[in-house]
């Protein structure tokens, strides 16, 4: 069954990994390859063309950026001050998928609602 959503997959670039390692005191730095192993997909509103996809991404880049940061460090004082669209694109590769199919046999549940 088709779902009335698109999907945005974000994959860290080197500036994100540099930020991770700046705060990591474990002694073993995270590599770009390691950071890109398990990437996050975000369900977003559907779009009809590239311009509309770009508009949606511009609207959602900050909450997506902050979700990615929070996945590594919850202390917001550690987060970069600039978290706008240009920084988002410098820190992440973005894959946009306009078709999403649902194959699960259970009802979708939303956490935190």
* pLDDT tens sequence across 34-44: 999 999 999 99
Model confidence pLDDT, tens digit, residues 66-101 = 999 999 999 999 999 999 999 999 999 999 999 988
In the DSSP assignment, the letter for residue 76 is G
Residue spans of beta strands (DSSP E) within the chain: 2-3, 6-12, 40-44, 92-97, 100-101
**Mean pLDDT of all residues belonging to the chain:** 93
Per domain, the residue ranges of the chain are: 2-101
Q: How far is 111 from 49, CA to CA, in rounded Å?
A: 30
Q: Which residues contact 62 (CB under 8 A, 6 or more apart)?
A: 83, 84, 88
pLDDT tier at 107, thresholds 50, 70, 90: confident
pTM: 0.89
Q: How far is 20 from 53, CA to CA, in rounded Å?
A: 28
């Amino acid at each position: 069954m088709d779902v009335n959503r698109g999907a945005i997959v974000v994959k860290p670039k080197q500036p994100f990994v540099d930020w991770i390692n700046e705060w990591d005191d474990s002694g073993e730095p995270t590599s770009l390859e390691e950071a890109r192993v398990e990437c996050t997909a975000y369900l977003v509103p559907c779009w009809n063309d590239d311009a509309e996809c770009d508009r949606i991404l511009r609207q959602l880049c900050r909450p997506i950026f902050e979700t990615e940061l929070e996945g590594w460090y919850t202390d917001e004082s550690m987060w970069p001050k600039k978290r706008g669209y240009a920084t988002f694109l410098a820190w992440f590769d973005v894959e946009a998928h306009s078709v999403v199919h649902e194959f699960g046999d259970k009802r979708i549940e939303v956490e935190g609602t």
